[in-house]
Each structure stands twice: as C-alpha cells, then as structure tokens.
Structure 1
C-alpha cells in the first residue's frame, strides 16, 4: 500500500509517494508530468514526518544548493532493464550530463540507446534519480517528463549558472 504527500518546490508542487511497508520513496512527480500515474494510485495523503521527513529534508537541502547526492531509501518499480537504467542515472555526478548512448554502453548494451531513453522517460522518482542529467549525443536537451524548461533550469542550477 502506498501513501503520498505534496510539498512545495521551485517547480511548484511535488507529489511524493512512499511504500508504507518500508517507508521507501517510490514516486516523485511534478504537475503536468508525462507518465504521471493517476492520483488515486498514490494512496491516502499522509503529511507525517515519519513517512516523508527524510525526503523533504533532502529535497529542501538540494534546492538550497547544500546537497548533491540523495540517500533517501527508494523502492523503484519497473522492469529489470528499467531498474538497471535508473541505477545508472544515480551514478551521474551532480552538475554533469551523460548521453543516452553512453548510458547504453555503461549497461553493456551499446545498441540500446533508444531503449535507455524510453526507460529514462519512465523514471518514477525524478530529481532524486536524476534523469534530467541525460542529454542527446551532441549535448542538446532532449525529452524530459517534467518539460524541457524544467530540465534546463535543473541543469543550470546544478552547474551554478542559475539559482532557483
């Protein structure tokens, strides 16, 4: 069973979803996000710090420029391939980017850049699992479930060229 809360951020409201059984975060969704599940799938609202306190604290520190690596427990739900892509995303250092092709190579599947892109687009825990750090081979900004403007702002923020 899951529960959720909604917190403010520089991007507007973020919906955090946790698995009540292990208090692990299984979703972080922006408003108008592509592939955002239906609200009823988030379970009841629970604003208690016991469920979301660590995630809220870490996101607040991230947006203040004080945190570069998240340690919130995650319960990522997806296919084995999706989970392997999401694991690779967590290895992209703060302020850096990787291409879909480079991620595919890191997975030992150099011809799978399109599949990597599809898995990246289904990342259920944006920002914390930094899918915004993935760009085209030429460094151009490509799709982002939260919108390209949000992606640009996140990357600029991490590079120190913009503040929230």
Structure 2
C-alpha cells in the first residue's frame, strides 16, 4: 500500500486530539482502544487508526501488534518513560513515527492562520454553520468560536464573514503562486 501508516506517540490527550483530527480529515477512521476484533490479518485497507493511553508494556504490545496488522496508532504516553521508549522503538521498526498522509500541520509557511483555523474557515466557506463546523472538526462550539475569533484577529478583520472572505482570498493567492 502506498499510503504511509500513521504512527504517533504523544504525551497528552490534547496532542492526540490534534493528530486524530488531522487524520480524520484525511479520511482515516478513528477508534479508541488497541484490540483488533477483525479476523483478517491485514487491516490496512480499512484506513483505521486506533488510539488511547498506553500505561504499561502489555498495552504497548497491543498497539504494536495493531500497527503490524496495518492499523495506524496514536498512543498517549510519556515518550521519554520506559513504556514510551519501548513503544517508540517497536513502532519505528514498522514505519516512520510522526509521518502520515493526513493534512499538513500548517496551511503554508506564510499563512497568518493555523491549520485548525483554516479548517474551520473552509467549512464556513462551504456553507456550514459554526456549530456544524465545530462538530466536524471535533471541537466544542466554544473552542470553535475562540479559534474563529483568533483567525479574525490574525487576518485583521472584524467579522466572521470578512474572515471567511479573507481565507478564500488567501487560498486563491496560494493556488496562483
């Protein structure tokens, strides 16, 4: 399969949420827990990413086994602790850590807004409500409103409508140049 398997070991649930959002936008299906009930050995065609906390070596073994069968892994544990080091070493034998075919972390090097803000503005540009955009991006409505307010400030505009129009202009400029 030409697609890179997403393998991530992150220290916090917040970091995991960001990775999972990006992967979900890239078409990956996410599921909590590392056990694979599938009878088929190779699950890579399902584009499945398993995630959760890895508190011990037994859970780490489950995560590595799932990755060996073709599932992506987003493991939450201290990457510098004994379990985290063992998990990172074992996953690195399967594929590169931190690489995936999800959206890039940033829209572009010169964009004034973050990828998360851009994703919300793109959904608004497509006609979604803020509530629908928040839900689709796995954010609370309050967090989505804060991200949009930060985008308005970064873009130097007063209203969300103006922010969406500025975002559309940025995308056109990036596409032309």
TM over 0.5: no
Structure 1 or 2: larger helix share? 2
TM-score computed with the length of structure 2 as normaliser: 0.27
Higher CA-based Rg: 2
